[in-house]
């Protein structure tokens, strides 16, 4: 028997076997055709990202999934990923961390936390290191004016806006509560446990509670070179203890308007290591910080043409600085600073045409600053900010204007 004949015979055998198997399956019956199969419901929850393609200004975003995949552990590390953002770190673990864009300084970069501006009337710089990444659903950085016209006038008055949006409670499989506990650890005695609790209070009301604690020694080793002498030293007085907690109430009214009320608290006690001085490794400077705010945001869409956003916030900040040494009369030097802010904002959005959108924002702010310095004038500042904005979008053309 030739080779070609063998090949033909083998192919015929396999073809006959395939036909036999197909006939056997038809005789046995199909288990899918003619029946109804119910697939379990799948709920996908996500926050809408800003449109980066049609925006007239550069907008960069980072979702919670991006943060998890990149293994980012702190807010400062996440913001460093944005192009054009300059993050300054004063003091390593637990130190002050500020963000600036366009080299204009941190005082010209606004930070928005769930749509409401974060402020500091004493220094004008926002410490983004005190915000946790555990409950963040999205970060965004707009260089210039953001695409969202329904925002406060304070955000329009800045060179750029860093937006921090926290994760809203969402429940699967008919659950009414969710709980999560997490513990992180690191070098130099860093331990940070955190808790999260979500609760459904009704069909239209949800509550989210987040709390975190962090402690670290921070006494890292370094090599000190002094001419021909090389010694191994340790950075002293770098420890930090901090507490952070926030609770947010989300309520949706029957007319689909939304109200968010958030309470936030932060407290830290940290050592200030100071400069490296030869033959003097001691450092006795300590800084205490406390920040509390309560904010509310209300949004309502009256019609496809009219929308309203109203915001209100009370912010309290307190810090204490203490330095011990023989150079002081009482053996120590101490300063206390306290700031209080009352903030209210309203923004109206109107669409006279399908391609044209107008908005008018008005903010009012009262700031009070008190401290223990002698002959302090105890200033009180009254601020009013107005912003009129327009956007025209037709096909491939998008034009914006702000006043």
User: Can you give the pLDDT at residue 5?
Assistant: 52
Measured at the alpha carbon of residue 400, what is the angle toward residues 55 and 111, in degrees to the nearest 5? 65
The whole-angstrom separation of Cα 126 and Cα 107 is: 8
Q: pTM of the prediction?
A: 0.81
The whole-angstrom separation of Cα 86 and Cα 74 is: 15
Q: Which CATH class is domain 59-402?
A: mainly beta
The whole-angstrom separation of Cα 264 and Cα 291 is: 8
Q: How many CB atoms lie within 10 A of CB 177?
A: 11
Work out whether the CA dihedral 13, 19, 25, 27 comes out positive or negative. Answer: negative
Low-confidence ranges of the chain (pLDDT < 50): 7, 10, 13, 15, 17-27
Best CA proximity match to 167, nearest among 68, 34, 90, 305: 68
pLDDT digits (tens, 9 = 90+) for 190-218: 899 999 999 999 889 999 999 999 999 88
pLDDT digits (tens, 9 = 90+) for 246-292: 999 999 999 999 999 999 999 999 888 877 778 777 788 899 999 99
Query: What DSSP letter does each residue of 286-318 carry, written as one string?
Result: EEEEEEEEEEEEEEEE-SSSEEEEEEEEEEEEE
- Which 8-state DSSP code applies to residue 15? H
pLDDT digits (tens, 9 = 90+) for 323-338: 988 888 888 899 999 9
The mean predicted confidence, pLDDT, of the chain is 85
């Amino acid at each position: 028997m030739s080779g070609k004949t063998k090949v033909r015979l083998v192919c015929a055998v396999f073809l006959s076997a395939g036909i036999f198997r197909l006939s056997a399956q038809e005789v046995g019956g199909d288990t899918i055709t003619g029946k109804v199969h119910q697939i379990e419901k799948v709920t996908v929850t996500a926050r809408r990202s800003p449109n980066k393609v049609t925006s007239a200004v550069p907008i960069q975003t980072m979702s919670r999934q991006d943060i998890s995949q990149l293994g980012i552990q702190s807010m400062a590390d996440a913001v460093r990923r944005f192009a054009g953002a300059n993050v300054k770190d004063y003091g390593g673990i637990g130190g002050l961390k500020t963000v600036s864009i366009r080299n204009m300084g941190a005082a010209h970069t606004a930070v928005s936390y769930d749509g409401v501006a974060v402020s500091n009337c004493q220094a004008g710089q926002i410490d983004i290191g005190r915000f946790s990444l555990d409950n963040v659903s999205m970060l965004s950085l707009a260089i210039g004016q953001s695409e969202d016209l329904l925002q406060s006038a304070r955000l329009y008055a800045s060179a750029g806006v860093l937006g921090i949006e926290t994760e809203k409670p969402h429940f699967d499989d008919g659950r009414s509560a969710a709980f999560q506990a997490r513990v992180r650890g690191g070098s130099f005695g860093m331990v940070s446990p955190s808790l999260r609790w979500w609760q459904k209070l009704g069909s239209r009301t949800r509550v989210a509670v987040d709390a975190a604690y962090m402690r670290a020694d921070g006494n890292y080793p370094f090599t000190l070179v002094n001419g021909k002498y090389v010694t191994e030293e340790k950075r002293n007085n770098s420890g930090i203890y901090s507490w952070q907690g926030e609770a947010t109430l989300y309520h949706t009214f029957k007319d689909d308007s939304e109200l968010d009320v958030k309470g936030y608290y932060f407290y830290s006690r940290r050592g200030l290591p100071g400069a490296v001085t030869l033959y003097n490794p001691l450092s006795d400077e300590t800084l205490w910080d406390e920040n509390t705010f309560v904010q509310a945001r209300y949004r309502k869409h009256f019609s496809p043409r009219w929308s309203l956003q109203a915001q209100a916030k009370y912010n309290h900040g307190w810090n204490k600085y203490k330095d011990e040494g023989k150079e002081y009369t009482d053996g120590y030097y101490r300063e206390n600073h306290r700031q209080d802010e009352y903030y209210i904002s309203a923004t109206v959005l109107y669409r006279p045409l399908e391609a044209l959108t107008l908005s008018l924002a008005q903010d009012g702010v009262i700031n009070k600053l008190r401290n223990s310095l002698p002959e302090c004038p105890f200033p009180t500042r009254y601020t009013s900010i107005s912003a009129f904005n327009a956007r025209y979008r037709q096909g491939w053309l998008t034009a914006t204007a702000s006043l």
